Homo-oligomer: A and B are copies of this chain.
Amino acid sequence: MATVKLWSDAEAEAHPQVKAVFDDIRATRKSDFVNNFWRGLANDPPHLKRIWEQLKAIMIADGAIDPLTREMIYIAVSTANGCSYCIHSHTAAAKAKGMSDAQHGELMAIIGLAGQTNHLVTAMQIPVDDAFQVQS
């Protein structure tokens, strides 16, 4: 159970700032579904609006990284941070954006390998090679 109230549609309708964000989520995603994350954030309407605006700018607006790759990067971070909800929601988003079973399988393998080599490097305290120290 959440530590905050999850706002119902009726509660959201009654609060203009929350309603405006929920309406924009629905219009942008072309779907009536508003997932629990936004219903929890609704307790702090200005914060809800900031997070949603940011997500639109970073995950939905046109950019140099394609939308499916963005979702796979999101899953990678969420896995390393152990966020079960985020893994579920962004795996669903990746599938909706066309992630194939083969891509999903490779994503798992890359995440696992990175987890392994991160631990090995840290356990051995490997110093950064000079060749990697060139600033952009």
In the assembled complex, the Cα of A89 lies from the Cα of B46 at a distance in Å of 26
In the assembled complex, the Cα of A47 lies from the Cα of B119 at a distance in Å of 14
Q: Are A77 and B114 in contact (CB under 8 A)?
A: yes
Q: Are B70 and A124 in contact (CB under 8 A)?
A: no
Query: Chain A 78-111, CB within 8 Å of chain B: the 1/0 string?
Result: 1111111111110110010000111111111111
Q: Min CB distance, A17 to chain B, in Å?
A: 13
Q: Are B1 and A133 in contact (CB under 8 A)?
A: yes
Q: Min CB distance, A130 to chain B, in Å?
A: 10
A8 interfacial contact with B, CB 8 Å: no
Q: Min CB distance, A35 to chain B, in Å?
A: 5
Query: Chain A 112-136, CB within 8 Å of chain B: the 1/0 string?
Result: 1111111111111111110111111
A51 interfacial contact with B, CB 8 Å: yes
Query: Chain A 1-28, CB within 8 Å of chain B: the 1/0 string?
Result: 1111110000000000000000000000
Kindly identify which residue among B4, B78, B129, B131 contacts A124, using a CB–CB cutoff of 8 Å. Answer: B4
Q: Min CB distance, A11 to chain B, in Å?
A: 13
A binding-site residues for B, Cβ under 8 Å: 1-6, 33, 35-37, 40-41, 43-44, 46-47, 50-51, 54-55, 57-59, 63-65, 69-70, 72-89, 91-92, 95, 100-129, 131-136
